[in-house]
Structure 1
């Protein structure tokens, strides 16, 4: 064996619920990261029947697209995709630190992302459906899952009710990352060097992504300033914005009730979901 190819260390970085991520360090070479699925078919309380091989291929394609359009991304070093698997994505290792990404810079990058052409992109998570259809269906299904664990107030919004309010997200679609949180930011000294993990990507109106950023706690004044809009909070208080926020709130409640159980965080996320349901009931036509 070539001594220059000897692996000095392999460290598990995590990877979330569906994937494993390791960083490998090789003598006299820069470190690189391997990402591969734990198993091919994804089935949990948030998602069922998604092909992890397709999702990893999407990550490969969208990281390549990021480079093309100036969105920060790590370089792709290789992609192994035999028909029967396993599929493995290899990207450059980027040295990071604990300094958070500056919200103004993040807002500018997200705005740039939302201005890029989205034609020809068919996100795996969208399942070949319109954004309003899939978001309404998943939101209703996920709220039903939450209701198996805890009591939710009143009659839950139906898929049809949600789809009616969500129709505007089919207009002026952008490519949405849909998981803009620190775990997916490769950064150093507050500067974003790489945006990773495109598993949840959708093509829809940008409001859907901004609603998720709000539910993640990232829609700060500086983010809004960088994004170039001071009306975001007002839009998210209207029925459309509340329905968009329910999509994320239900997902997060399930994560901490079922997929990565955490009693304290589950209590917080369930309360958030209940509050949004009450707000929607108060402002909707059917309230």
Structure 2
């Protein structure tokens, strides 16, 4: 399903109707500025608040009032976590309105512009460290449902291995989800808020200075070592510079290799499936398939 001009216009009119007529805002313009698999993002100009971003699910099935739809979960998650982070001085767009109805659902936040200049991996490391130190204060992640991250990841890994085996007609064999979860639960590291998609496209900056981190769709509360392993495995940042900015080598040195490998495997599997089924990049596909093979062997050897 593609985002058509007809759908864009309907979303634009629905947003305009709600903000101007139901909420009595004064919207002077509204334009589409981007879209993903689930959400479309509109830029609006409100007379008193200035430029704001409106994020709304664009697929018809996602804009229903089903509280379990990924679109509704995405909006709730972004709103709750952004408000929590804003309270603790993490640079995120300020939330202005979370709106649900039978016609349209959307989230209004500050529009943060950037100039596209590269942000150093050191600075991103510093920001990630600050996120991991944010007090949880009872923060509950909408789609985590009080489950431990170890439980989520262990089941996700076995599911991804099954999917990858079918995709490339191979037979990767790994320990059961129960075995993986038990290993992950041996870690004594304190839980943190995790972003779990820390990479340049989700960092908005200007003149090389970070202005905001966005897109909390993947976030959970859990062991921060998972965040670090995901970043290192994805290779979108300079690892050495990131570590210097993060400034906590103890967390890695005090974590068993097998735990690091399991968290790395989760990411390698995700990227293998991505480059096999969704993005045509044979070099990255081959690389991550080799990483999956290596990490599975490493986990088996450390059992």
Please give the range of the TM-score, normalised by the shorter of the 2 chains: 0.7 to 0.9
Alignment of 1:1-287 (within 5 A): 5-7=27-29, 10-15=31-36, 17-24=37-44, 30-39=50-59, 51-82=70-101, 84=102, 86-152=104-170, 154-168=172-186, 171-217=189-235, 218=237, 220-230=239-249, 238-258=257-277, 260-264=278-282, 265-282=284-301, 284-285=302-303
Q: Give the 3-state SS of the residue equivalent to 2:193 in structure 1.
A: strand
Question: Residue deviations 1:198-233, cap 9 Å, x none?
Answer: 111111111111111112213621211111123566
Q: Which runs of 5+ in 1 are unaligned?
A: 43-48
Q: 1:268 to 1:94 in 2, by over 3 A?
A: same
Greater relative contact order (Cα 8 A, min sep 6): structure 1 or 2?
1
Deviation at 1:103, TM superposition (A): 1.6
2 CA distance for matches of 1:237 and 1:119? 28
Deviation at 1:235, TM superposition (A): 6.3
2 CA distance for matches of 1:252 and 1:206? 20
Q: Give the 3-state SS of the residue equivalent to 2:185 in structure 1.
A: helix
Normalized against structure 2, the TM-score is what? Answer: 0.79
Which deviates more from structure 2 when the two are superposed, residues 92-101 or residues 151-160? 151-160
Normalized against structure 1, the TM-score is what? Answer: 0.83
Q: Give the 3-state SS of the residue equivalent to 1:31 in structure 2.
A: strand
2 CA distance for matches of 1:69 and 1:109? 12
Q: Give the 3-state SS of the residue equivalent to 1:96 in structure 2.
A: coil
Partner of 2:3: none
Whether the aligned pair in 2 keeps the contact of 1:12 and 1:21 (CA below 8 Å) is yes
Question: Residue deviations 1:4-49, cap 9 Å, x none?
Answer: 8432x6233233x33222334579984322211234569xxxxxx7
Determine which structure has more spread, i.e. the larger CA radius of gyration. Answer: 2
Deviation at 1:139, TM superposition (A): 1.0
Q: Which runs of 5+ in 2 are unaligned?
A: 1-19
Whether the aligned pair in 2 keeps the contact of 1:131 and 1:169 (CA below 8 Å) is no
Q: 1:51 to 1:13 in 2, by over 3 A?
A: closer
Deviation at 1:69, TM superposition (A): 0.5
Whether the aligned pair in 1 keeps the contact of 2:243 and 2:249 (CA below 8 Å) is yes
Q: Give the 3-state SS of the residue equivalent to 2:108 in structure 1.
A: strand
2 CA distance for matches of 1:92 and 1:85? 23
Q: 1:149 to 1:97 in 2, by over 3 A?
A: same
Q: 1:170 to 1:20 in 2, by over 3 A?
A: farther
Whether the aligned pair in 2 keeps the contact of 1:256 and 1:262 (CA below 8 Å) is yes
2 CA distance for matches of 1:58 and 1:141? 24
Number of residue pairs the alignment of both structures matches: 273
